[in-house]
Structure formats: C-alpha cells, structure tokens
Structure 1
Amino acid sequence: MSQYDSPKSSRQVKISVAICTWNRSRLLRRTLERLREINVDDRFEWELILVDNNSSDDTQQVINAFSETLPIVSLIETVQGHSASRNRAIEAASGDYIVWTDNDVLVADDWLTSYCDAFIAEPDVAFFGGAIEPWFEPPGCPDWIEATWDKCKSVYAARDLGEQPIELNENRLPYGANFAIRADVQRQYRFDPTLGRVRSGMIGEDETQVLKRIARGGGNGRWVPNAKVQHIIPADRATERYVQSYFVGQGQANVMFGKPSRHRMAAFVDAAFHSLLYRSKRHRTQPDEWVSHLIRSSISWGEFKMHSLKPTATPRSPRR
C-alpha cells in the first residue's frame, strides 16, 4: 500500500532504469535475474538501459541472455568512467524518470512500483531515493567490520533514512545504488566526467555532486521508504585493503572539492604516523581503535596523493 496520499494521475508514467557496468558479469547476472522478477502494473512502462563501459569479460553475453525477458536497451560507452557511462544513459533514456541502480544489487519486488507511487503522487519533486542494505557474500561480514559498522558503513553504501517519506535536501541525500531523478531535471544536470570511478579507481562523488547541484538550484527531494535494494558485497571487498582504498578515494575527493584537508606535507606526516599506529595496534587492540587509524591514514594518503598530482588544487565551482 502506498505511503503517499496524493491523488493518482491517469497518465501512464515511463521509467528508465539505468545500470552502468564494467567487468562484473557474475554480479550483473544476479541483478538482472532479480529485475526479471519485479512487480509491474499498468500505471507505468519501463525500459532497462544497460551501458557497458568497455568490459573485457562476458558482460555482453550476459546482457544478450536477458534481452528477450527484460526491456533492455543495450549500449556501449567507449570513454572510460562511470560518469561518462551515466551521461550516455541520460542521452538514451526515453522515460519521464531515470532510476539509477548498480550492477551488484538485488532490488525488492515492489522497488519500481514504490517509485511509481512516489512519482505519481508528487510530480513536482526533482529527485528521490530509497534504502540500501549491504548483503555480504559468504563467509559473511567479518567481525571487525561488524564491530566498527558506524565507521565502515559508508564503504558499503548502507543507507536507510527510515520508514516515512521525508524530505531530501543538500544535507540529506540518497546514495548511488538507489536513487531517481526526473528526466527533465537530469538533462540539465549531467555527471562530471572528472568524477566517478574509472575502472577500479575509488574516487566517487559523481551522483552526490549532481544531487547537491539540483538541491542548490531549488529542486526538492523525497525519500521513498519501500523502494529498497540489497547491495551485494563480494568477499574480496570485505577486507582491510578495500576499506583503505575507499578512504584514500575520500581523501582525494576532499582536495578536489576544497573540503577541509591537510596540506601536502602535513598529509604525508599524518598518513605515515597513523599508518604506523594502525600496524602496531592491528593485533593488540580492539577493532574500534585500529580501524580508526586505518581510516585516518587512508584519508591522509589520499589527500597527499591528490596534492601531489594537483599542487594548486582549488575548490570546484558548481555547474549546471
């Protein structure tokens, strides 16, 4: 049952679901299997835009295997990078709304119908978002991550703003694996090609900056409680090395966006100091202590790296 009370429109909504992928065919197959099972009704039609960003695995074979059972629009983006792929999807989308998800999620049965409820009930809203629950593949979530979940949950895109359809704004945004933007708004706010992951790189911020620009431009947002997904976490991402790489990317983003950060040599000293503490305490203290040093050192290494690449880095100006 919908959590929105506004009267429904008789006009059918068209939804473009978009997924950008690079060399994750095993997980993509699971995502598509689940999408094949979602609930649909006559209030909307939908298309599934799949953008292959130069995959060298069997991604194309996986996409082809679902072409007769899902409304797939298959594209290839030759410019490497998540943002370039997302902008390619925007160009191809024919829907009234673009719903973004990833190649490693399992959507709830009523995921798309819940978004449709929200779109119809509040047609003036510019962007929407739903919950993301991480699901760790066997052997499951390591004890040290469970013990430090408040520190590590951003690494695994955990997002839950509750069971009420609250307002979203610049300071309260959805995450990249589960959000939607009205298509006319999305075409005004493209993704910055200098941001977003490129191959295995960890600089993100692409969707965050788009959503912030929309909010600063006067666009309002809405949380959609029932539009839920699970985020599959492979075993090779439930590691200290992956947590480290994530926070290195955060440190790089701090410099790119002019956020408070240490200068180059101060970042180096801080990174080296906390790396030493992390290594010395790793097997002698509780996870909460050594994980804090791991995170601090990683952010500082990222800031140092970015300062080294861009010694005169200045804050970026929001663009339409």
Structure 2
Amino acid sequence: MDVSVIFATCNRDDILKNTLDSFTHLATRNFAWEVIVVDNAVRQQTKTLVNSYKDMLPITYLTEATPGKNNALIKALPSAQGDLLVFTDDDIIAHPDWLEELWSGAERYPAYDMFGGTIKPHYPDHPIDPRINLNHHFINDAYVVTDTKLKEGEIRAGKIWGPNMAIRRKIIDSGINFNPNIGPNGQDYVMGSETEFLLRAAKAGHSSVFLPKAVVKHQIRQNQLSLEWLAGRAFRHGKGNAAVTNTDQAKQKILFGAPRFLYKKLLAHKLLMISSRLKTQHTQYFSHFVRYHFIRGQIHQSRIIAQQS
C-alpha cells in the first residue's frame, strides 16, 4: 500500500459528507491508497454514512470511544498499510490533485519525511460580524489556513498544519506517536496536537517540506464566524502555546501559578479593548480581543503546569 489517508470525526455527518464526496473525485491512478475514518462519537448514523461510500472509496470505518482526536488517530495507526500516512480532518474539501501532489512530492524529496500542503478557507454565504477582521494574522491560525506566501521547499515543522499533512511511516515505526493529552477532545482542550507531534519528530532528525500544489479547503461553519467562537479559539491557542513552549517558571516571577508579566499584559489588552470598542475602532478592537483571550489561555495552562510540577 502506498498511501493511507487517516482522520477522526465526531458527530459532524453533514460536514463529513462534503469531505467524503470530495474524495470520490481524487486522482489516484499512480498509487494504491486507502481511507481510514475513526468515529470518536461512535454513532450508528456515522457508520452508515461512511459505509455508504464503500463502492466509491477504499474506505474503512473504525471507532474510538475514548474522547480525543489523538486517541482516534492512535487507534487508526495499526490498521494503516500505507508507506505515506496522510492526516487530515473531517471538515475539508480536497482538490482532485491533492493526494497526487503529496505522493509525487514525497517522491521528489526522498530525504524528507514530513510534508505539508496548502489550506484555503471555504466561508459560508452569510454576513460576517464587522468586528471580525479577516485580514488579522490570527484568522489563519483560527481557521487553520496556510500563509499564501509559502513556496515549495523546506520549512519548519511548525508550518505544517493538521488538515493537510503527511509523514513517512518510518516516523511512527521509530516510536514517535501522537500525544493523547493534546488536541480536540470535546472539552476545553489544549490546541497544537499536530504541532507537538511534528516538533518531536523534527527534534529526532526528520525534516519537512511544503508542497503548495497539494490543496484542501477548510469548511468554515457559520458558528465559527462569531466573536464567542474566536475567543475560545484564541484561548485554546494560548493554552497550546504554554503547553508546547512550557517555559521554565523558575526563572520568572510567578503570581498565582503563572508568570506575573502575563497578568499585566492581560489587564492592558482588556483596557485597550474597552477603549477601542467605545471608539468603534473595529480593527484595533479585534487585535486586542485576540491578544486578551490568547493570554487568558497562557495563564490558564501555566497554572495547570505549575500544579502538576
């Protein structure tokens, strides 16, 4: 087997159907492939949906009852037969040449073991809250959209994102695996599951390449175009930042389990949020809004780390 496409799903059949529909149009003449879907909600409806594609796709349905995207991915790995393991999400729309570009790219760069591709946004046809600045750099992080300036060639592992990443099987065979304590789990989770995995692989000597012609679109849902959702996203990004960097707190002044300077930044951005909102300065408001909730996440996770140490 050449390519295994692996992803988790959790009670999002309407979105999942769009993803699977896009897979039926993939160009796969030059390699043998399979799709493994791991149902993290263990729903009969999802099983029925996935199995309805058996005549169109080389697809396998698995279940993992323990909540957590990484638990689901770990469940799939023993069943995966491909030399190239392609990881994605249940809310993407794949370009027809997506897998072909990943496969041919892996052949062009035999000295590299990790590959990332382009992720574009697919917005719904609804008005967007004017306070949300779609040109802010956080939007790419929030909606998992890659930088349009990225060119083909070597990149840092952290530039590869979950909806469009591939690794050679030998990374898993070497003992490097996903961390079940990081990533979506249906709760107030720590973000950065793929980043944490890829950074460990990079530290072990595995290099990364970006393949811009390997394209997927990320389905942005209407509920994600709200300040409430973006606040949660920024908060989880902050948690992920604190969890991955895990700065030595012994070198810093600590207040209530977190670096003291973070509280100063939190208060400053809160005051600037209030000021810019009163002046209806939407661009400035959104910038301070993002930083405020990001720092909240950093403080929250820092306190958890302090309690565990």
- Paired with 2:148 and 2:202, the residues of 1 have a C-alpha distance of 18
Alignment of 1:1-320 (within 5 A): 14-41=2-29, 43-56=30-43, 58-139=45-126, 141-160=128-147, 162=149, 164-170=151-157, 173-187=159-173, 188-257=175-244, 258-259=246-247, 263-265=254-256, 266=260, 267-268=262-263, 270-272=265-267, 274-282=269-277, 284-312=279-307
Runs of 5+ consecutive residues of structure 1 not aligned to the other structure = 1-12, 315-320
Q: Are the counterparts in 2 of residues 264 and 308 from structure 1 also a CA contact under 8 Å?
A: no
Q: Are the counterparts in 1 of residues 136 and 287 from structure 2 also a CA contact under 8 Å?
A: no
AA matched with 1:86: L
How far off its partner does 1:17 sit?
A: 0.3
> Please, what is the CA RMSD of the aligned residues?
2.4
Structure 1 pair 60–283 and aligned structure 2 pair: CA distance change class (3 A): farther
Higher mean alpha-carbon deviation, 155-164 vs 233-242, is at 155-164
AA matched with 2:205: G
- Paired with 2:214 and 2:37, the residues of 1 have a C-alpha distance of 20
Higher mean alpha-carbon deviation, 247-256 vs 112-121, is at 247-256
Q: Are the counterparts in 2 of residues 263 and 304 from structure 1 also a CA contact under 8 Å?
A: no
How far off its partner does 1:204 sit?
A: 1.6
SS in 2 for 1:226: strand
- Paired with 1:154 and 1:128, the residues of 2 have a C-alpha distance of 18
SS in 1 for 2:279: coil
- Paired with 1:147 and 1:177, the residues of 2 have a C-alpha distance of 20
AA matched with 1:24: R
- Paired with 1:283 and 1:29, the residues of 2 have a C-alpha distance of 43
Q: Are the counterparts in 2 of residues 148 and 287 from structure 1 also a CA contact under 8 Å?
A: no
User: Residue in 2 aligned with 1:8?
Assistant: none
TM-score, length basis structure 2: 0.88
Q: Are the counterparts in 1 of residues 237 and 294 from structure 2 also a CA contact under 8 Å?
A: yes
Q: Residue by residue, what CA displacement relative to the aligned partner does 1:188-244 show, whole Å, maximum 9, x if unpaired? A: 310011111111434221110111121121112211121001001001001111111
SS in 1 for 2:4: strand
- Paired with 1:74 and 1:166, the residues of 2 have a C-alpha distance of 34
How far off its partner does 1:113 sit?
A: 0.9
Larger helix proportion of the pair: 2
- Paired with 2:134 and 2:204, the residues of 1 have a C-alpha distance of 39
Higher mean alpha-carbon deviation, 103-112 vs 62-71, is at 62-71
Q: Are the counterparts in 2 of residues 248 and 298 from structure 1 also a CA contact under 8 Å?
A: yes
Structure 1 pair 147–36 and aligned structure 2 pair: CA distance change class (3 A): closer
Higher mean alpha-carbon deviation, 72-81 vs 247-256, is at 247-256
AA matched with 2:9: T
How far off its partner does 1:62 sit?
A: 1.6
How far off its partner does 1:69 sit?
A: 1.3
- Paired with 1:31 and 1:264, the residues of 2 have a C-alpha distance of 46
Higher mean alpha-carbon deviation, 120-129 vs 221-230, is at 120-129
- Paired with 2:188 and 2:222, the residues of 1 have a C-alpha distance of 18
Tell me how many residue pairs correspond in the alignment: 300
TM-score, length basis structure 1: 0.85
